[in-house]
Structure 1
């Protein structure tokens, strides 16, 4: 670099910036205007904290340079007022002082200062400090805005999901109810073909209702809008709940092996049993023989095993909704979500015999996350 370029003056603060310099030293305030002002930067001065408070309430500033020792209202008191007011909670403040004691530095940052500069002031260094604080603050503010937008979007999504749940449940229940009326021939005999149609419509409506409710529940579990409950149940009761109402195709067999000894689990019986039922449905859809069992493990938890003769039980072993794109529905992803919310793990592996086994490991107790409550009714 040439000597000419090295000595060429450049403005450090390039973006449009309004600075409020607060100090009872009027000469220092004039120095601030000379050294900090530029084509895109303006510097205004206030001689004490009270004057500065009136100015920030009347006009907008991008940053405040604030001396500690001033009459009327000192720097600490003004900083405390700024941080107590929601309008100025994110306003960048750099403290200026001749003090170098640890107590003053600690107090400044405890009250919410963004930076601390000691006197005598190195104006070039202060310019870079201002630029750094401004950039950091703008990044933080953008992150806060993005977080707020994300929270608003999540709240909107959860509200829409709840609305869909309510709006879809009634018409689907009506379809199922009318199919039941046709099947019972309440208004008199109906053709055999109509009975078959009613049976098929009923099955389709129930499948749609179950899939829709599971998708909504999966989304609400994943977002934290719904949580699991914790209660104590006999391990065999979990298996009973999982197979209750499960339709086993005529060419398939399901063997349920209950534990020889009685032991108890703390879990959300409704959702955990539904998760296991989903895994059973997938297994029965691809394997001729399926075996469901549960056993206590060393740490007091439990291992649930679904063994099948299928060689390709799960086309994808992802933790997401990848299984849906394989035409398997939401069941696998839903099951994994529920198991992980219970503090457990779900693993899928091939067996040496050519089959597949799904293993669910559950802890002795569900981790406490504060407020756990089953707020959503099962579909």
Structure 2
């Protein structure tokens, strides 16, 4: 059964006060100002009446026997049905401690006695408008969060649906390129099959990035943590991007600390982060340029994985945009170099899952330095396990 109160023509204000004369005066003033009113003569009765009626606003006296106004206010704020109702506390106490306590227990505002009857209606009307605005903002926030969850779920579903046929395309293209059923005849067919596989691998990589982002945005990303040997992981990453480096005619250097520790991390995600940074640097560095991968520990024990290039760079003012999902700093650059704008945002999300940060410094025409910073608690060294 629907427990919501009926629609009202006028706002309903409930007055809770053990003083009968005060209740009458407040209700008369509010009635003259166009408000409907109801009342309760003590704290317990006020809680029951407020829960039943769900008024638009409560005027609550502090000094009541048994259950004072502070206790009533605290109780109302702890109940989901009444937590949103604006509460105007009326007190004869003007000391700072009482005022602070009123706000601590959840009062929206307070009035001191004697009440200015001329201004009471205006005061109530202002609080109601503020409450309505807050409710609208709260509803808009909830709607936006629901839309974000729906979008993330849609992207996840689409990614799953796309990966199955794409894996088949990649598998058959590789099978044909390897001439699994015998010679294809014209060597050009082998090249075509290889191109199909390469394009499929690229598309699958983008879909996987999209799926990872959607999981993170939906709060469903999980870390499969293990002890990762960084030196070996770096070797794998360098081998992976070697064809890309050769095609781009670049120099790729690696600088690893002599005593490189292991880290407690999700190895697949850490590899993905490093490859994203390397691929970005290679993509945006012109021929004969230089890319450097450095791995070391900072003075505070944090682990740093740093990729530096002397490529086209980013204007400092554009760095925040480069961190946004699907954002491209310059449309002409994206058309020239390709990419979806997922690399840096995904990398930042993945390192934040590990409790770390992504740091980026760049200057237009001078190159870019990007660093993954994993907290010291993830470092495994000298026989000590990370916690």
Answer yes or no: same fold by TM over 0.5.
yes
Change (3 A) 1:42 1:368: farther
Offset of 1:43 from its aligned partner? 2.2
Work out which of the two has the higher radius of gyration on C-alpha atoms and give 1 or 2.
1
Give the aligned partner of residue 152 of structure 1. 146
Residue 49 (str. 1) matches residue 43 (str. 2): yes
Once residues 183 and 290 of structure 2 are traced to their aligned partners in structure 1, the CA distance between those partners, rounded to angstroms, is 42
Who is 1:199 aligned against?
194
- What's the Cα RMSD here? 3.8
Shift of the alpha carbon at 1:173? 0.7
2:357 equivalent in structure 1 = 343
Contact 2:62/2:90 (<8 A) preserved:
yes
Secondary structure at 1:322 match in 2:
coil
Q: Give the TM-score normalised by the residue count of structure 2.
A: 0.73
**Pairs within 5 Å for 1:216-235:** 216-218=211-213, 226=221, 233-234=229-230
What is the match of residue 264 of structure 1?
260
Aligned to 1:322: 328
Preserved CA contact (<8 Å) 2:256 2:295: no
Kindly tell me: are residues 99 and 89 of structure 1, through their superposed partners in 2, closer, same or farther at Cα, counting changes over 3 Å?
Answer: same
In structure 2, how many angstroms separate the alpha carbons of the residues matched to 1:95 and 1:367? 49
Aligned partners of 2:117 and 2:363: how far apart in 1?
Answer: 66
Among 86, 90, 115, which residue is 1:121 paired with?
115
- Please report the TM-score for the alignment, with normalisation by the length of structure 1: 0.74
CA positional deviation for 1:65: 0.8
- The C-alpha deviation readout for 1:67-87, integer Å capped at 9, x for no partner, is 233457543443333223210
Q: Which residue number corresponds to residue 132 of structure 1?
A: 126
The CA deviation string for residues 200-224 of structure 1, in whole angstroms up to 9 with x for no partner, is 3222211211222234445666787
Aligned twin of 2:5? none
Q: Structure 1: how far apart are the matches of 2:124 and 2:196?
A: 69
Aligned length: 345
Q: Is the 8 A contact 1:65 1:96 kept in 2?
A: yes
Provide structure 2 residue ranges, at least 5 long, that are not aligned to the other structure: 1-8, 379-387
Secondary structure of the corresponding residue to residue 55 of structure 1: helix
Gaps of 5+ in 1: 1-14, 370-379
Match of 1:209 among 198, 204, 227: 204
Out of 304, 308, 315, the residue aligned to residue 307 of structure 2 is: 304
Matched, 1:167 2:165: no
CA distance in 2, matches of 1:368, 1:235: 19
CA distance in 2, matches of 1:313, 1:49: 66
CA 1:227 to 1:131, structure 2 compared with 1: closer, same or farther past 3 Å?
farther
Who is 1:358 aligned against?
Answer: 368
